[in-house]
């Protein structure tokens, strides 16, 4: 059973465009993380959010944790070709560091 659903599954956009990726669940998470994965590599952590309503910014990336801590979004402003990759959200439902991953969003930014 996949607790975390991400949308869209695939996204192909032109350089300079904005985009938002969503991570949704019916479960409450004590914390939620976003990762980016390049081909042939393991995922690399981008951010961790722990408080409902929290917003974190990482250069052109903005992450938001839902008020009820059941969902999150990742917004990229003025996408660049270097943003291309697989974006994964992961949530911890029990505070035990047993992280469950979402289905992933594969982003391709075209020059």
Partner 1 sequence: NAGVTQTPKFQVLKTGQSMTLQCAQDMNHEYMSWYRQDPGMGLRLIHYSVGAGITDQGEVPNGYNVSRSTTEDFPLRLLSAAPSQTSVYFCASRGMNTEAFFGQGTRLTVV
Radius of gyration for the alpha carbons in the chain, expressed in angstroms and rounded = 13
Compare residues 19 and 100 and give the one whose CB is closer to partner 1.
100
- CB of residue 70 vs partner 1: minimum separation in angstroms? 17
Q: Residues 69, 10, 97, CA angle at the centre, nearest 5°?
A: 35
Query: Binders of partner 1: how many residues, by CB under 8 A?
Result: 24
Under the binding rule (CB under 8 A), the answer on residue 97 touching partner 1 is yes
Does residue 49 contact residue 63 with C-beta atoms inside 8 Å?
yes
Question: Facing residues of 16 across strands?
Answer: none
Shortest separation between residue 97's beta carbon and partner 1, angstroms: 5
Helix (H, G, I), strand (E, B) or coil at 49: strand
Q: Which of 25, 102, 107, 109 binds partner 1 (CB under 8 A)?
A: 102
CB of 19 to partner 1, least distance (A): 19
Q: Closest Cα to residue 108, out of 4, 2, 21? A: 21
> What is the contact surface with partner 1 in residues (CB under 8 A)?
1-2, 4, 6, 9, 33, 40-45, 48, 88, 90, 96-104
């Amino acid at each position: 059973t996949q607790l975390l659903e991400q949308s869209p599954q695939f996204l192909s956009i032109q350089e300079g465009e904005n985009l938002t990726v969503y991570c949704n669940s019916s479960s409450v998470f004590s914390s939620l993380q976003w990762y980016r994965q390049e081909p042939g590599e393991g995922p690399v952590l981008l951010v961790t959010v722990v408080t409902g309503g929290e917003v974190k910014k990482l250069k052109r990336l903005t992450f938001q944790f839902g008020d009820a801590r059941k969902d999150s979004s990742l917004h990229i402003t003025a996408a660049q070709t270097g943003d291309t990759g697989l974006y994964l959200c992961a949530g911890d439902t029990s505070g035990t560091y047993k992280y469950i991953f979402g289905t992933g969003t594969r982003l391709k930014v075209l020059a």
